[in-house]
């Protein structure tokens, strides 16, 4: 009886694997759905780069957006400790007898309490480096596209001529 259940279970597993295998990949190991290359869409709503491989085009402009901060206040937290005690139960078993006794344990009960306020620097706008491209990826219709880049890429673009051809991997879109 046990062997029949094992054979049925093995047959169901084989059938399930065959069905899932047909949905996953094609004959050459590529994804069977058109347009699905396994990399995802790349859009996260946070200005994700449109191309993982990078972009190229003609330098149209550069922009450095400085970091903007302001002062803020928050409660100043101080750790205050008070001595405290607790009862600890001990038991010892020896054969049928059980002996129980209690001891008092001393410890520090510490808590954070607000005492006054403190000031700190709060970032309102983070620092950004941007490059503006024309003829993005060879398409003359894609002009004036801003891309966020690293500081190194920004300084390379800043040193390049006005309509120089640039190739870089952006960290985001827009500026």
Per-residue pLDDT tens digits for 125-168? 999 999 999 888 888 888 888 999 999 999 999 888 888 899 99
Number of domains in the chain: 2
Given 103, 123, 143, the domain boundary residue is 123
Domain enclosing residue 145, as ranges: 44-66+127-175
The whole model's pTM is what? 0.48
119 & 132 share domain: no
Cβ atoms of 58 and 164 closer than 8 Å: yes
113 & 143 share domain: no
The pLDDT, as a whole number, for residue 138 is 85
Given 79, 97, 123, the domain boundary residue is 123
Which residues lie below 8 Å from residue 36, measured CB to CB, with a gap of 6+?
none
Q: Is residue 159 part of a domain?
A: yes
Q: Is residue 75 part of a domain?
A: yes
């Amino acid at each position: 009886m046990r062997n029949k259940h094992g054979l049925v279970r093995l047959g169901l597993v084989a059938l399930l694997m065959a069905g899932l295998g047909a949905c996953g990949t094609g004959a050459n190991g590529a994804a069977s759905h058109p347009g699905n290359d396994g990399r995802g869409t790349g859009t996260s709503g946070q200005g994700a780069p449109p191309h993982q491989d990078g972009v190229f085009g003609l330098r149209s402009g550069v922009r450095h957006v400085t970091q903007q901060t302001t002062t803020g206040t928050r409660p100043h937290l101080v750790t205050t400790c008070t001595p405290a005690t607790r009862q600890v139960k001990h038991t010892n078993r020896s054969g049928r007898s059980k002996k129980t006794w209690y001891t008092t344990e001393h410890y520090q009960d510490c808590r954070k309490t607000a005492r006054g306020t403190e000031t700190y620097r709060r970032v309102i706008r983070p620092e950004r480096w941007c490059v503006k491209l024309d003829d993005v990826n060879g398409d003359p219709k894609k002009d004036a596209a801003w891309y966020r880049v690293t500081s190194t890429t920004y300084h390379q673009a800043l040193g390049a001529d006005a309509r120089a051809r640039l190739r870089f991997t952006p960290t985001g879109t827009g500026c």
